[in-house]
């Protein structure tokens, strides 16, 4: 119990260590933003996927209960098998879902659905999870194959546009309209004169123009 309490109370600091240890690695630089670490360590495990400027896809099969589900909820997309068993199970242990579920759930399901699943700890199938909005969609056979297919489609788009779109939605999904419109304009102004925007348009017209490395959002 003492160790668990320390985990829940300890402020996030490992992001700073990651940045310092990899400051010379261009592929890792900017992937984790220390300012985004606003929760405790247990919450960061699920929440910080949202601050990575590339799409994160979770594949669910077998059983996905409690903390495992909360980690998946932090991803951008979730593909599951129809017979996957899914549950917000913490109530069975006298606990609440405390790994950022209060943020991720509100973006996916109605509040009464979140309450019912949390209060009961009921186990649902991947099919029901898809109908409720907990997962993006169910796959008949191999959800990993579908995830790779979707990721390849995304990889054919401008990395700057993908990063900007993720940042836009994560920052404004529950914000007021003024903030949403202002951020849309700010991000679009950065994209319009860029090489990657030109490359994306050229590819749409059938020209094989290579993308440049993604620029960090500021």
Distance (Å) of CA 10 to CA 6, 36, 117: 6, 16, 28
End-to-end Cα spacing for the chain: 40
**pTM score, whole prediction:** 0.77
What is the rounded distance in angstroms from the CA atom of residue 37 to the CA atom of residue 48?
7
Distances (CA, A) of 170 to 20, 102, 183, 192: 26, 15, 11, 21
Per DSSP, what are the bridge partners of residue 59? 79
Sorted by sequence, the CB contacts under 8 Å of residue 45 that are 6+ apart come out as: 67, 71, 99
Quick: pLDDT tens for 126-185: 999 999 999 999 998 899 999 999 999 999 999 999 999 999 999 988 888 788 788 878
| Distance, CA of 131 to chain centre | 19
CA distance 149 to 143: 10
* pLDDT tens column, 84-108: 999 999 999 888 898 989 989 999 9
């Amino acid at each position: 119990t003492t160790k668990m309490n320390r985990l829940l109370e300890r402020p996030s600091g490992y992001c700073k260590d990651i940045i310092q240890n990899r400051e010379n690695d261009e592929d890792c630089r900017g992937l984790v933003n220390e300012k985004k670490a606003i929760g405790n360590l247990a919450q960061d495990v699920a929440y910080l996927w949202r601050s990575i400027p590339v799409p994160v896809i979770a594949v669910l099969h077998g059983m996905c209960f409690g903390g495992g589900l909360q980690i998946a909820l932090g991803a951008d997309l979730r593909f599951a098998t129809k017979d996957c068993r899914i549950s917000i199970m913490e109530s069975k242990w006298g606990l609440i879902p405390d790994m950022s579920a209060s943020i991720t759930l509100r973006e996916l399901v109605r509040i009464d659905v979140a309450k019912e699943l949390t209060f009961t700890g009921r186990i649902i199938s991947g099919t029901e999870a898809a109908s409720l909005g907990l997962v993006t969609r169910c796959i008949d056979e191999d959800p990993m194959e579908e995830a790779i297919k979707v990721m390849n489609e995304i990889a054919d788009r401008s990395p700057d546009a993908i990063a900007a779109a993720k940042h836009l939605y994560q920052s404004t999904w529950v914000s007021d309209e003024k903030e949403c419109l202002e951020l849309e304009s700010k991000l679009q102004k950065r994209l319009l004169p860029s090489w990657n925007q030109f490359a994306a348009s050229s590819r749409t017209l059938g020209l094989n123009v290579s993308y440049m490395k993604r620029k960090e959002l500021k």
